[in-house]
Each structure stands twice: as C-alpha cells, then as structure tokens.
Amino acid sequence: MSGAVWNLLSFIVALGVLITVHEFGHFWVARKNGVLVKRFSIGFGKALVRWRDKQGTEFVIAAIPLGGYVRMLDERVDPVLPQFKDLAFNHKTVWQRMAIIAAGPAANFIFAIFALWLMYMLGVQTMRPLVADVAPASIAATAGVSPNQQIIGVNQHKASDASSVNLLLVEQIGRDSITLKLQDMATQQVREVRLNTRDWQFDPEQQTVFDSLGLVLARPQLLTEIAAVAPDSAAAQAGLKANDKIKAIDGSAITDWQQLQQMITNSPERELQLDIVRDGQPVRLNVTPKRVVAEDGFSQGVLGITPKVSDWPEGVLYTQHYGAIDAIVAGAAHTWQLTRLSFAMIGKLLTGDVSVKHLSGPIAIAQGAGTTASIGLVAFLSFLALISVNLAVINLLPLPVLDGGHLMYMLLELIRGKPVSEKTQEIGFRFGALVLLMLMGIALLNDISRL
C-alpha cells in the first residue's frame, strides 16, 4: 500500500471516529432534554448507508467524510405541528440549548481522556528530558544550564518526560522569560534557572524547541560510521563502503556527524580528501560531492551516505505504564495540558507571537494520522487525543458557524432576556464562515508548501 493511500485511510478513520464522538455528544444530550433528532449524519453528500431507530432518527453514513451533523426538530427550519412543539430545539430553555451545543466539544474532551487512559494502560515508551549538552552562547548556556541535568519543571508546571517538557516550552512562546527546574543526576540537587527569551527565535519547521534554546537532550547520536551508500552517488563512485569510519576531511579531524555534514554541504563539486578506517586499516580516498540546488535556491554538496546511529543512553528511555485509576489521572492531566496549549496557541496567533504560516490543514493531519498509525496503536491513540482536543477547542471559538458562536448568542440571550435577532445571527454566520474559510485556505496552502 502506498504512503498516500495509507495516510488517506488513516485520516478517514481518525476523522470518522472524532466526528462521530462529537456529533454523538450533541445527539445524546439533545435526546436527554426531549429534543427530537431527525438525522444523525457522519459525512456530507450522498448517503452510502442509512437506517432508522424506533424514535424516528435517521442515521446516515455519507460519501464525503469531512464532517457531520445532527439535525434536530426546530421550528425556525421545519414546520412543526402544535402537538410536537415540545420536541423542538427552539422551544427548550436557554440552559438546555446551551447544554446540547456544548455537548459536542465536551464529548471530544472526554474522548481524549479515554484515548490517553487506554494509551497509558497499554504503556507508552518515552524519554527523560535529560540535558546531554548545551550549545555555546545559547539562551540555555547564558542562563547557566549545564549537562547531566534533567528538566523536571517549566514555569511551575511539573514535567516527567521530554514530550511534556516540549509542550510546556511551546506554550511559553512570546514570554520574556522561562523558568526551568533542573535536577542534577549526580547529586540529585534541584535548582531553578531563568531563561531570557525576550529575543527567542523559534521556527518549528526548521528546528525543535529544545534546539532553539540551545538544549541538546540525551538521545542516540548520528555517528561518523557509514551505514549505507546510495548507488550511483558521489560516495559510491569514490569507493566508500558501509562500515567505513570517516576520521578526517582535508586533514581536519571529524568528531561528529554534524561537522561532517556541514563540510560536505559546503563543498559542492569540490574534491575532498577523506581519511577513513576500513576493517581496522587506514584508507585515504578522494571524493567530489555532487551539486544539488536546495529549496532556498542555494547550492549544496551531497555525498550519498547514511550514518549509523548509536544506542540510547542508559536510563533515558522508560515506559509510562499505569493501572486503571492512575491512567485516568494521567490521561486527564495530559488532556488539560493539550487544552491549555491549544488555547494558548490561538491567543499567540492573535497577538502575532506565532505566525499563521505554522497553521496545519487536512494534508498535515492526514500525514500525522498515517505516520502514527504506522508506528502502532499507542502512537495513534496519542494522535487521536491531540486532534480531539484541537477539534473541541476550535469548535468553542466564538465564531457563529461553530458551537462557540451558538453559545455566544445564547449567552447574549440570557443577558438580554430575549434571543438575538435572526438578521444579526445571519450576518454573524456569514462573517464566521468567511473567517473560517480564510483560515482553512491558509492552512491548506501551508500544507501544500510543505510537500
């Protein structure tokens, strides 16, 4: 199965599950409040499968799996006989209608907790946020962060793994400073350092949040030993082989892969002298990296070799595996962190601390679904939880076409003592649709530019 097809199928499964959960929230609370649900549809367009239950609700699975809806009896849309008015949505109290609308996002939050609960029950392998090195003159170095220290907190929030530290650091974008709580692995002493992030520059498409601060976490390292040589590459033509260890280039000693890569990149079509070790014996070869034009228009050298990777440092990898009760607590805490981060990112988009060029659309979501599904169930559950929280948060935005917009109108109705006029609501719906379409267009263009 091709990667594109796998991504598409994974995307459909993920979206189908999350939309079903969201719409079921509306459906279940509507029925509990005595509203007649006329249709429960997963997808739009032509109905592929349909059936009715004893209460007259039509359930539909439609051809276009990009959304869904619950259609309730509503006097503003359908002619309603007097004896059925009590079953109409618009005849319910404001609090009942608000509960029905809020039930969709609430269902997504609950599902995220469930998915993460199951993930923690199965056990998820993760890594400790142990600092292995600090880049010279970086934000972290200036603050006094040193190697062999584990990050155990960010701005008073506890953190036990690298993933949670990553989310907490991203949440701090736009702040003038970040407080890190560190534990020395040798002495077990705990101290705090303050990072000056007033001039912090972070581009998530080019680097990790750790790299941007100058933090190098303990993880497998790329070695200067060759794992594979691409056929017909400059390396193959020069006679390089798998298991060769590159020791020097033009007489300069090579100590790590990044140094080797930089020298190759900066030498397109320039002959280099390589000192290598092959089967324990020193060998000298001449190689000329091929010239390749990168996306930014600059030329760079390419050799055509893949490095070997070292083993994980001892004690860095561990498995988070909890019992039923502890898994619920961990799942709820993780969901709250994702929710807080999602709202924070929306705020940073509005203030300009985060650029709209980082918005992701359906293509990026499909790629994420395919990648995590390929890794396994645990990774896919984590992905589902993330997207479920994002779906809930987006739906709570006060745009009239979203659940948050409906809740906004109902809140105004509570304050004013009467509904917002149909004309005002219609203007709001058009404005909300325009804003939403604009954001979706930007996200889609960003996706395409990353392909």
Sign of CA dihedral 206, 208, 214, 220: negative
Cα angle 97-102-105, degrees, rounded to a multiple of 5: 155
Predicted confidence band at 388 (pLDDT cuts at 50, 70, 90)? very high
Query: Is a pLDDT exceeding 70 seen at residue 266?
Result: yes
pLDDT at 451: 64
Mean pLDDT of the 233-251 span: 91
pLDDT at 367: 75
C-beta of residue 303 within 8 angstroms of C-beta of residue 229? no
Query: Is a pLDDT exceeding 80 seen at residue 137?
Result: yes
CA–CA separation, 451 and 447 (whole Å)? 7
Residues 6 or more apart from 451 whose CB is under 8 A from it?
363
* Cβ burial, residue 333 (10 Å; 0-12/13-18/19+): middle
Mean pLDDT of the 196-203 span: 88
Which of 65, 71, 63 shows the shortest CA–CA distance to 23?
Answer: 71
The strand pairing partners of 309, in sequence order, are 222
Tell how far CA 115 is from the center of its chain: 15
Q: What percent of the chain has pLDDT over 90?
A: 48
Mean pLDDT of the 352-368 span: 73
C-beta of residue 243 within 8 angstroms of C-beta of residue 225? yes
Query: Is a pLDDT exceeding 70 seen at residue 197?
Result: yes
Say which amino acid occupies 375.
I
The tokens for 431 are 């404005």
CA–CA separation, 22 and 384 (whole Å)? 13
Mean pLDDT of the 121-147 span: 92
- pTM of the model as a whole: 0.84
Q: Which domains does the chain have, with CATH numbers?
A: 116-123+322-451 (no CATH), 125-219+311-320 (2.30.42.10), 222-309 (2.30.42.10)
pLDDT at 110: 97
Mean pLDDT of the 43-51 span: 89
pLDDT at 429: 82
Highest mean pLDDT among 101-115, 126-140, 196-210, 240-254: 101-115
Encode pLDDT of 150-195 as tens digits.
999 999 888 888 999 998 998 898 889 999 999 998 899 999 999 9
pLDDT at 315: 86
Top pLDDT among 297 and 327 is at: 327
Predicted confidence band at 41 (pLDDT cuts at 50, 70, 90)? very high
pLDDT at 94: 92
Predicted confidence band at 424 (pLDDT cuts at 50, 70, 90)? confident
Predicted confidence band at 326 (pLDDT cuts at 50, 70, 90)? very high
Predicted confidence band at 21 (pLDDT cuts at 50, 70, 90)? very high
Specify the long-range contacts of residues 226-231, CB closer than 8 Å, at least 24 apart. Answer: 226/305, 226/306, 226/307, 226/308, 227/305, 227/306, 227/307, 227/308, 227/309, 228/305, 228/306, 229/304, 229/305, 229/306, 230/304, 230/305, 230/306
Q: Which of 104-118, 121-135, 411-425 has the lowest mean pLDDT?
A: 411-425
**DSSP H or E segment with residue 152:** strand 149-154
Query: Is a pLDDT exceeding 80 seen at residue 240?
Result: yes
Q: How far is CA 123 from CA 118, 220, 331, 338, in A?
A: 8, 22, 12, 19
Q: What percent of the chain has pLDDT over 70?
A: 97
Predicted confidence band at 2 (pLDDT cuts at 50, 70, 90)? low
Average pLDDT over the chain reads 88
Say which amino acid occupies 267.
S
Mean pLDDT of the 78-88 span: 84
Say which amino acid occupies 374.
S
pLDDT at 439: 78
Give the position of tokens 């691409």.
230
> What's the alpha-carbon Rg for the chain, to the nearest Å?
27
Mean pLDDT of the 269-277 span: 91
Predicted confidence band at 296 (pLDDT cuts at 50, 70, 90)? low
Mean pLDDT of the 373-377 span: 83
Mean pLDDT of the 117-127 span: 93
DSSP 203: -
Mean pLDDT of the 218-225 span: 90
Residue 158: count other Cβ atoms within 10 Å of its Cβ. 11
Predicted confidence band at 306 (pLDDT cuts at 50, 70, 90)? very high
Mean pLDDT of the 366-390 span: 86
**DSSP H or E segment with residue 319:** strand 317-320
E strand spans, 343-400: none
Which of 77, 80, 30 shows the shortest CA–CA distance to 57?
Answer: 30
Mean pLDDT of the 253-281 span: 90
Virtual CA dihedral for 39, 40, 45, 51, nearest 10 degrees? -80
Predicted confidence band at 33 (pLDDT cuts at 50, 70, 90)? very high
Residues 6 or more apart from 27 whose CB is under 8 A from it?
37, 40, 57, 70
Q: Which of 20-24, 122-126, 200-204 has the lowest mean pLDDT?
A: 200-204
Question: Catalytic site residues?
Answer: 23
